[in-house]
Structure formats: C-alpha cells, structure tokens
Amino acid sequence: MDKNRRKTFADLDHDHEPLLETVAGRSYSRQLGPIAEFLAKKEAEQAPKTLAGYQSTLYRFHEFLGADATVADVTDVSGHRFLKHLRESGLSDNSVATHFRNLKAFTVWMHKKGWTERDRFEDVKRPAFVRPKFDTLTDDQKRLILSAFDPKTFLGARNLAVVCVFLDTGVRLEELVHLEEKHVHLDRAFVEVYSRKTDDWRVIPLSSETIDVCRHYLEARGHYLQLPVRHRAAPGDVNHRVKERRRLNTLTFFCSWKGEALTENGVGLMIRHLRKRLADAGTPIHIHPHLFRHNFLTEKALDGENPSLVRRWAGHRSYEMTDYYFGLAESKLAAIQPKRSSLGGLAVLPTKRGRPRGATDRRRRFSGQSQGATCDGTK
C-alpha cells in the first residue's frame, strides 16, 4: 500500500526547479517558480507598496544568485553571502534589515508549501533595525513651514490645508489623497479615514486651527472653480483659445488645479518644493510626508495621551508599533509631568511639635509683606 501511495508536493525533490522562470507563448507570458507564487500571494494579501518591497528583495536576490538559480541555491551560505553583498552595496542598516526580513519570510513560506524540506535560512540571523534619531518639529519650524504658503491663492490655500491636516491628524500619504469630502466633518470637528493597509476605518479629531484652514481652502476652491479656464481650441493651435468653466471631477477633499483628485506624487512634489524653498531661504528643514506622522505620534506620546487612543488614531494593528513611537520620546520623558502623583494628598513628613504646620509659612508671608512695605516707603 505504501508503494502505491501518491507522493505529495512536499515529498518531491524540488532542488532542480528554477526559482523564477518565464514561460512565453505566442499570445501570453507568465512566470513560474516559488518566487512567482510567493509574489502572487502577496499581491492578493498586501498593499501595493508592501508588494513592491517584496518584489524588490526577491528580484535582487534572484539576480545575485544568477538567472539559472534553482531551489538548491537557497542555502544558509547563499544567505550570508547575500547579506554581505547588501552591506557592501551602500544601503542603510534599516534597508538591509528590511530586505532580509522579506527574504526570511520567503524561505519560511517555501518550507511551509513544500518547496524545501526545512527553512534553510533558519540559522541566518536577521540584522536588527536601528531606531532613527528623531526629534519633533519645534514651534518655530512649524511657523516657517506654514508661512511658506500664500493663503490668498487656491494652491496656497490647498497646500496649507494639506500640511495642517498632516500635522493635526498624522494620516498616511495615501490616506490623505483618498480622503473624501463627505468624510470630513468640519462642523463636528473630526474626519473619518480609511486605511487600505489595515482595511479599517478610524475617526480622528480636528483642532479649531485646522478646521479654520480647511474652511478657508473650501472657500478658495469655490472661487477658483468659478473662474473660466482658457485652453487651445485644437491640439497644436497656438493662436486660438476657448474659455470653459472649471469643473470638480473628484469626490476627494483635496483636488488638483485641474479639478481632479490629488495624487501621492503631487503631494510629494509639493513637499519637495517646500523643502527647497526653506533651504534657499537659509532655514533648511528635512521634511517629507511621513515625517508629519512621526511628529504627530511622538507629540501625542509626549503629551501623555492614552496609548489606546493613539493606536486608534494612528491605525496601528498592534500596540507594538504604537509603543515604538512612545519609545522615540524616551529622551524627553523627564520633561513630562504625571497627571497625578502617587503620593498626592499624603502627609509624608511628620509635622513639627508645638506649632501648627502652616504657622511658619503664614508668619513668613506676613513678615515678607511688612518688609516689602517698609522698603517701598508706603508705611
């Protein structure tokens, strides 16, 4: 009976099979092998940016092993060699750690699916992530950033509102550009944000300052859309132009000058231009869209906010990531005063005998007032 039993996929020897193979026909092209299967799984489960990270790692690993690499080439020796190669490529420590984390996830999956008899990177230690040295933006830096926009123009009002929403809510870049106007409740001082990364909705409060800026942006947008736009009557015709009314062609809260949805690249370009203007003015501030999220969460940690609320505002799946931001604020923990002392209301030191405890303080205050009156010459 055992001889006639059909072997499972895991029972077969896959060492000779290519890690990545492209099969092309007359009208189709597809990829086969464990790398292709793993990336197809991640494409169905993960966000596009997460998928891009896995693609970058595995394609880089495959290129390092060679175009003819097979499953047999995935060994702890090749893992150590690839780790050395990454470090010699000039990548940062965190980039190396990220690549290797993705690669170890791949080797664990290979063992689980039966491509290998065990996790062949089990003995390859993953480099540790290095926590960045991050400090919050100062009030002066925030003033410089916000004063760089002209709120009298449509783009200035919009960009000012974008930065204020970033600073006040800590939303991710993709969350901001997909924020629909019906989910921005300025009269009730909160926004409803949907995260594709966690597939979840969350509510984030808005400050009065951000509400005023957003209302000003909506007013500026309304005036802007009422103005006609002039464009060429025909492609290539530089002599004739026609006027048309501008239209809002998106449901998102922020729109481009064309009336279309604002894109992630558009926001990134705006932040880069702002960074350059600050540097040209002699006040360089290395800002980027995700820095505002770091600043928001770190400030909430310094303010002593409830970690449960911070996690829900941030949209973190676990407390581990939220605690990471609280850890970034450790260097400033001494400046945080507890909301209530554990010894509050308790008489720790005994009172002196023969005199009520408050008598000395009252006598000192009275004596000080008398001396002050004598020095002033009023008595």
- How confident is the model at residue 123, as a pLDDT? 87
- Which tokens in the block code for residue 276? 């350059």
Distance (Å, whole) CA 51 – CA 45: 9
Which tens digit of pLDDT belongs to each residue from 58-81? 999 999 999 899 999 999 999 999
Q: Are strands 190-195 and 184-185 parallel, antiparallel or unpaired?
A: antiparallel
Query: Does residue 96 have a pLDDT over 50?
Result: yes
| Residue 241 φ/ψ, nearest 5 degrees | -135, 150
Using one digit for the tens of pLDDT, what is the confidence trace for 136-180? Answer: 788 899 999 999 999 999 999 999 999 999 999 999 999 999 999
Residues forming beta bridges with residue 190, ordered by sequence position? 185, 205
Which pLDDT score is estimated for 378? 44
pLDDT tens readout for residues 22-60: 888 788 888 899 999 999 999 888 878 888 999 999 999
- Using pLDDT thresholds of 50, 70 and 90, give the confidence band for residue 376: very low
pLDDT tens digits, residue range 236-275?
777 778 888 888 999 999 999 989 999 999 999 999 999 9
Distance CA 35, CA 41 (A): 10
DSSP string of 307-339? HHHHHHHHT-SSHHHHHHHHHHTGGGGGGPPPS
Residue 369 scores a pLDDT above 50: no
Which residues, listed in sequence order, are joined to residue 22 by a DSSP beta bridge?
31
**What does the block give as tokens for 367?**
């004596």
pLDDT higher than threshold 70 for residue 19: yes
Q: Output the 3-class SS for 81-92.
A: HHHHHHHHCCCC
Say what the pLDDT of residue 271 is.
Answer: 95
What pLDDT does 355 receive? 56
CATH code linked to domain 139-333: 1.10.443.10
Beta strands in 103-142 (DSSP E): none
* CATH number, domain 9-113: 1.10.150
Q: Mean pLDDT, to the nearest integer, of 350-361?
A: 58
* Cβ atoms 261, 277 nearer than 8 A: no
pLDDT for the residue numbered 339:
62
- Indicate the pLDDT class of residue 8, thresholds 50, 70 and 90: confident
pTM: 0.67
pLDDT, position 49: 80
Task: Give me the phi and psi of 181, to 5 degrees please.
Answer: -65, -30
* All structural domains of the chain with their residue ranges: 9-113, 139-333
Q: Which amino acid is at 249?
A: N
Are the C-beta atoms of 52 and 39 separated by less than 8 Å? no
CB count in 10 Å sphere of residue 301: 24
